[in-house]
Structure 1
């Protein structure tokens, strides 16, 4: 989500960086900063400002910077509010080392304690600042031992101490015209160019559009890669210092394609961005040490939340499916009754006033007219409201008593993917928070669930490639059918609904989602050899209720196969009974029952995508649909 642009070369650096950051604005941010150096300068000069790039441009107008190497950053606040002091770049104690960082340092509390004991002074609330101090400490100890080390060696030693995800850009005034970049998780791209006089210039960025207007010669760093940019060229190593060869790619994308990151469609890119979107939605909101959930944007005191007697959620489309999954999470963890309404129906059903009820609105854009109308109705009935939204400052957030922002970043494809996953993540965080203030979970239970949530992004990342290949292959067999049926029980039912919605939105195939237990009440009449049935047949073997639901779902699968129905089952790794029973099984990693939806939705999105592609449909802009529905 955050943007990074760095430059080493003969040009004046500030315009290069600002232009690059502007081209990365689509990623979303709430503060910006730039660090610039010139040879012979004792310290690096930094300018930062909260808000949009125009604010940093005004700061630079009043206090200009000049130099030939530097790095800039646009930040979406995670650790610490979006203030000037929390904006990147961050410095060490001496002011000679600066760092920009995308991602999260999960062990920053432990490292901060250690560095504080060694005399380091911290001036921000961020996890990033510790990286600058850690590099400083590594160099200080090497110097004290009489074996001073260059910046890249210090960075190499420092990153070995970090746990979490990071894309780094590091400068030191003691080593001018050098940028050290490192990747472990978030993307880093390197650019090789020449100015109008044929002199070499080198770039680092978090995404291709940030540097594409200067060069089309791009190198994508892999996880565990480091790049050292100097006026003499670029060297690549791993975190152990072993030299690496990295192939330069010639990018021929136009600007829109560049924003797609090389993916054929925005939707596919956004499906693959879900590990990052889920990770960003949890950043700064969970403690892996205590299991506590922190929702700092909530203006409702914990003691007020503890007194809530019921929750009414209103949403539309995909957000309604997320809300329905959230109902299962909240009721199970916090033991509060939850009602979910289509926002377009809420105010027309003459809802009953209850000042002790909490209203919740879920909307990706924050501008959905029906959802805004539902919010006004809730407020008129005396309820406080909480919004789950992906757009900072959107209309829905202005009248809400609290907002949980889903840090999915801009979602361009009309059919929601990463916004949905982020909404599910936000609802899980809210359910945990509510359970903690109400005392319905033990600290050990909270810690276990937070730990499991933190593992979900990596699980999705690991499964994406294989599941993509499976779904692409399945699309060859199922792209010509006329109808689909999706089945699920419990929290998996709304995921079945979402899978059916994705298919009908982008492929124009009729699809329905049903509770699996309703098969005998009508849908069985549809089953024959022409009807594909997608069954969410996952289970958490450690959860008795989940095991029971799975056994019931297995009976539904047998009903379908007995009638020659074609079953595509979504199952957890190792469910051999399903493999032997049905034609197609897509396996996902194990997870607790309430977190399985985040894994289940991936194959459903990919299946819809590849079927739509084979049918020649406009995947990103399906007919008759718009991204933000701003009229009722």
Structure 2
């Protein structure tokens, strides 16, 4: 995925676009570029690397003069990271300038035909076919040319386009890929994400499929591809500018880890009253689609969202009497069981734009299944297309590695599980009361965990500095937690961190245990601690260095581990939230002690809008 920005107004387009790209850099940082118009001609500047490299190049050379322009920060999906492959891209006559996010699935055929017609390609990207097609089918009318070319493109894409013959206009298109119009005072903006716009405006409109935005100095017009006018229903951004600033923190990842007590409060706000769960959006959904009609629940997500879904499945298994299955979005689309109106599909995505998850959602809907989306972006494609939306309300998450998203997703899944249980089952009132009370206490417990663990985890990160490998083990929900902890260490510390179900280690993995290899043993589930102690003993006999994490007051692990960390005790179903805190901190400090940029890990981007 990549980031797109656009600007038209009275300020320096270069300055506005660079600032917006800085706020979008988590979407891609392989290369960056700008195209700026002074009202007469368009100038392009591109650089490999981060936005700062582009900014430095502009300062060393000459600034781009003009009040209209488009910009791009790239995460390479076609063609290696290079200045050559960076956007904006243009045709050989430099008549059209395009920034693109997404995939043009039929670009091979389009490129072959264009080459046959004499068009020369200079990049390795799929995107370059777009300016060449615009040039080939140029009618002399910029808007009509775009309308003629769009049906030729297959795939998911967002585009911002400028024309040398119309240097006072930008056209924006969104086709299954996010692009947002921002409305300012005598100025207009385009962006892939609202976070780029918070400094300038909070009035936005997400461009829908089969719509185009035509931005000129006189107007922002939204039309269908066929030219029918649309009156945009403007949405107001609820986030504020302070939420996307680092302030006193060195990295967004640490800031967002430490924000989790507040983000969990926001997720829970107004959803527990008088010891009962209130989800009015689900109430409305169930008024139309009675839960009793469903005979199976599928939970789908990618990466951290998949792990959240695994925890959600365990909670639902405890509270509901119908089968629950959790799947990777990328697998579900092509390998799923029977889908029809008797199936409920719950999709998890922090951004609401994850391409694999969006495709899986469409697959579910096309087969008649009903869908609930749990996302942090109320105006995302997934939010709009699901039958029911439950917002996480966690605030912006700008570090690539998800932290707030994980804990808030599990919290929402817990609330949803309770709500569905009360609607359809005969639950133990005492069990539900205990779980609801535990949810109310959760933000404070997470706050206590941060206080108790941050310094100790920083010290342990020093121990792992020269270790290329690290293992995490756990049973039950602790195994899911181990998977999430390993993912974080892989993402930001580049460690070969691997998670295993503790009981399975002796079935092969034990061969990898050598003297001194660090092993994190998670033991937060009371009914499994006895077995965990036995598994740890097996590892210690092979001289593994075991770092145990368990709850306060439990001394069972103390005798068998090399180091112990205690965390506050919460309801056993919510321990994957509490115990995730030291693992998130471990990943953060392990990455920083190695000198890595933990906010922008190599080869990764925040939300993948390509499959």
Partner deviation per Cα, 1:428-478 (whole Å, 9 max, x = no partner)? 111111111112423443222111111111111122123010011111111
Matched, 1:277 2:277: no
Matched, 1:492 2:471: no
Equivalent residues in 2 for 1:347-496, closer than 5 Å: 347-349=333-335, 351-496=337-482
Q: Could you tell me which of 506, 523, 546 is aligned with 1:537?
A: 523
- d(CA) in 1 for partners of 2:476, 2:397: 28
| Aligned twin of 2:252 | 266
- d(CA) in 1 for partners of 2:542, 2:575: 29
- d(CA) in 2 for partners of 1:377, 1:531: 44
TM-aligned CA deviation for residue 55 of structure 1? 9.1
- d(CA) in 1 for partners of 2:372, 2:556: 43
In structure 2, relative to structure 1, the CA distance for the partners of 1:295 and 1:484 (3 Å cut) is farther
In structure 2, relative to structure 1, the CA distance for the partners of 1:604 and 1:577 (3 Å cut) is same
In structure 2, relative to structure 1, the CA distance for the partners of 1:385 and 1:560 (3 Å cut) is same
Q: Could you tell me which of 558, 582, 589 is aligned with 2:537?
A: 558
| Aligned twin of 2:12 | none
TM-aligned CA deviation for residue 54 of structure 1? 8.6
Partner deviation per Cα, 1:389-408 (whole Å, 9 max, x = no partner)? 01111100112111111111
Partner deviation per Cα, 1:470-506 (whole Å, 9 max, x = no partner)? 0111111111101111112112211110000000100
Q: Could you tell me which of 548, 555, 567 is aligned with 1:576?
A: 555
Does the CA contact (< 8 Å) of 2:474 and 2:500 recur in 1? Answer: yes
Does the CA contact (< 8 Å) of 1:292 and 1:447 recur in 2? Answer: no
TM-aligned CA deviation for residue 297 of structure 1? 5.4
| Aligned twin of 1:610 | 589
Partner deviation per Cα, 1:554-589 (whole Å, 9 max, x = no partner)? 111111111111111110001112122211111111
Runs of 4+ with >4 A deviation: 52-58
- Counterpart secondary structure, 1:585: strand
Q: What is the root-mean-square deviation of aligned Cα atoms in Å? A: 2.8
Does the CA contact (< 8 Å) of 1:271 and 1:602 recur in 2? Answer: yes
Does the CA contact (< 8 Å) of 1:291 and 1:448 recur in 2? Answer: no
TM-aligned CA deviation for residue 350 of structure 1? 5.0
- d(CA) in 1 for partners of 2:272, 2:498: 36
- d(CA) in 2 for partners of 1:295, 1:373: 27
TM-score (norm 1): 0.58
Does the CA contact (< 8 Å) of 2:517 and 2:545 recur in 1? Answer: yes
- Counterpart secondary structure, 1:385: strand
- d(CA) in 2 for partners of 1:290, 1:281: 16
Decide which moves more: 320-329 or 436-445. Answer: 436-445
Partner deviation per Cα, 1:37-62 (whole Å, 9 max, x = no partner)? xxxxxxxxxxxxxxx9999989xxxx
- d(CA) in 1 for partners of 2:185, 2:547: 54
Decide which moves more: 621-630 or 575-584. Answer: 575-584
Partner deviation per Cα, 1:591-623 (whole Å, 9 max, x = no partner)? 111011110100000011111110001100000
- d(CA) in 1 for partners of 2:248, 2:311: 33
- d(CA) in 1 for partners of 2:557, 2:429: 36
Does the CA contact (< 8 Å) of 1:295 and 1:404 recur in 2? Answer: no
| Aligned twin of 1:291 | 276
Matched, 1:324 2:303: no
TM-aligned CA deviation for residue 514 of structure 1? 1.3
| Aligned twin of 2:489 | 503
- Counterpart secondary structure, 1:262: coil
Partner deviation per Cα, 1:385-429 (whole Å, 9 max, x = no partner)? 011101111100112111111111110100000111101111111
Does the CA contact (< 8 Å) of 2:340 and 2:369 recur in 1? Answer: yes
TM-aligned CA deviation for residue 306 of structure 1? 3.2
In structure 2, relative to structure 1, the CA distance for the partners of 1:297 and 1:334 (3 Å cut) is closer
Partner deviation per Cα, 1:49-79 (whole Å, 9 max, x = no partner)? xxx9999989xxxxxxxxxxxxxxx99xxxx
- d(CA) in 2 for partners of 1:487, 1:405: 32
Does the CA contact (< 8 Å) of 2:277 and 2:415 recur in 1? Answer: no
| Aligned twin of 2:578 | 599
- Counterpart secondary structure, 1:530: coil
Q: Could you tell me which of 269, 275, 286 is aligned with 1:301?
A: 286
- Counterpart secondary structure, 1:620: coil
Segments of structure 2 that go 5 or more residues without pairing to the other structure are: 1-19, 24-179, 187-201, 204-238
- d(CA) in 1 for partners of 2:292, 2:272: 19
| Aligned twin of 1:194 | none
| Aligned twin of 2:506 | 520
Segments of structure 1 that go 5 or more residues without pairing to the other structure are: 1-22, 27-51, 59-73, 76-205, 211-254, 540-545
Does the CA contact (< 8 Å) of 1:298 and 1:402 recur in 2? Answer: no
In structure 2, relative to structure 1, the CA distance for the partners of 1:438 and 1:625 (3 Å cut) is same
Matched, 1:567 2:512: no
- d(CA) in 1 for partners of 2:380, 2:251: 26
- Counterpart secondary structure, 1:587: strand
Q: Aligned pairs, how many?
A: 386
